[in-house]
């Protein structure tokens, strides 16, 4: 009778041989698809300023639309002269100027009424 240790050793050797001899049919590994980006065709360049980088991300049409939107939202406060980006209905830059402007308009309206009466 063989010793159990020897039997296990033989079995291990047989398994190792069958594993090293194993060559499963594998498909060819995928090859990377690269295109030459050219000198200034890079989409991202860390040396660019924010707006310059943004221009590279947008098509010329998108860039024009974005500027038109920015221009339409840009307003100047009639009270303090500060330029600001506004929601469509906004006239003043903030609450303080809005109250100041409304008070001024109210005073003007009441003076007119006083002169008429
Ligand atoms: Zn203001």
In this prediction, residue 99 carries a pLDDT of 96
Return the domain boundaries, the chain: 90-117
Tell me the CA–centroid distance for residue 96 and ligand 1, in Å. Answer: 7
Give me ligand 1 centre to Cα 104, in Å.
13
Distance 75 CA to ligand 1 centre (A): 10
CA dihedral 49, 51, 55, 58 (to 10 degrees): 130
DSSP string for 4-73:
HHHHHHHHHHHHHHHHHH-----PPPPPP------SS--S--TTS-HHHHHHHHS-HHHHHHHHHHHHHH
| Residue 42: per-residue pLDDT | 81
Q: How confident is the model at residue 61, as a pLDDT?
A: 94
Convert 34-52 into a string of H (helix), E (strand) and C (coil). CCCCCCCCCCCCCCCCHHH
Please give the Cα distance from 79 to 99 (Å, whole number): 10
The answer to whether the CB of 73 falls within 8 A of the CB of 86 is yes
Going residue by residue through the chain (117 aa), what tens digit of pLDDT does each one get?
567 888 899 999 999 998 888 888 888 888 888 776 666 678 888 999 998 899 889 999 999 999 888 888 888 999 999 988 888 888 999 999 999 999 999 999 998 776 665
């Amino acid at each position: 009778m063989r010793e159990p240790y020897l039997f296990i050793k033989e079995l291990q050797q047989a398994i190792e041989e069958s594993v090293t001899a194993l060559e499963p049919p594998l498909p060819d590994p995928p090859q990377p698809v690269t295109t030459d980006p050219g000198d200034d065709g890079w989409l991202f360049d860390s040396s660019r300023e924010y707006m310059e980088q943004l221009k590279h991300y947008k098509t010329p049409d998108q860039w024009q639309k974005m500027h038109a939107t920015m221009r339409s939202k840009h307003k100047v406060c009639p009270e303090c002269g500060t330029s600001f980006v506004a929601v469509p209905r906004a006239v003043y830059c903030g609450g303080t100027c809005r109250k100041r402007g409304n008070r001024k308009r109210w005073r003007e309206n009441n003076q007119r009424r006083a002169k008429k009466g």
